[in-house]
Amino acid sequence: MMAKAREPILVLGIGNVLLEDDGVGIELVSRARVAGSHPRIAFVDGGTQGLALLTLLEGRTAILVLDAVRLEATPGTVHHLPEPLTRSTSSADSAHGIGAAELLAAASLLGDLPPRVEIVGIEPASTRTGVGLSPAVRLGMAPALEMVERVLASMLADIAREVPR
């Protein structure tokens, strides 16, 4: 029996829902899954699994990470990082153990990073213990999901150009 091929695009939400805005990546991937189900896209709630997520990155054509991203902007600001390994970024206080930048750097060292990797995130207001997103981050959800849709459309278009017909 042949193994099922992996979806070429991985949308990976990471974060800790017990630390207020740090859970924004989980909320984003959940909403993106509902809004944009597609046979070539895998939507995964990576939670706080850290380096255990490395195996999910293998064999992909593109990866979109959704996370709380702290760049010292106004809380609720949507960040799109099309080349996350070329800038200094950090997940919100690395509250979920290992942040997106660290996960992607580890995958790069192992040679498991696809040519296209992007991050969409929202600037957190608070990563204290508590459940639920702050009002500022909730306001950033719709624009972040619009950005996710644009990035995924572009990734799908890239794959369509690469696949021989």
2 within a domain of the structure (yes/no): no
The number of residues making up the chain comes to: 165
Domain count, the chain: 1
> pTM for the whole thing?
0.88
Q: For residue 133, give the CATH number of its domain.
A: 3.40.50.1450
30 within a domain of the structure (yes/no): yes
Sign of the alpha-carbon dihedral angle for 76, 82, 86, 91: positive
Domain that holds residue 55: 9-160
146 within a domain of the structure (yes/no): yes
98 within a domain of the structure (yes/no): yes
Dihedral angle computed from the Cα positions of residues 95, 96, 102 and 103, in that order, rounded to the nearest 10 degrees: -170
pLDDT in tens, 21-79: 999 999 999 999 988 788 999 999 998 888 888 888 888 999 999 999 999 999 999 99
- Pairing status of strand 78-81 against strand 116-122: antiparallel
165 within a domain of the structure (yes/no): no
1 within a domain of the structure (yes/no): no
User: Looking at per-residue confidence, does 101 or 33 come out higher?
Assistant: 33
Is pLDDT at 97 greater than 90 in this prediction?
no
pLDDT in tens, 32-48: 998 878 899 999 999 88
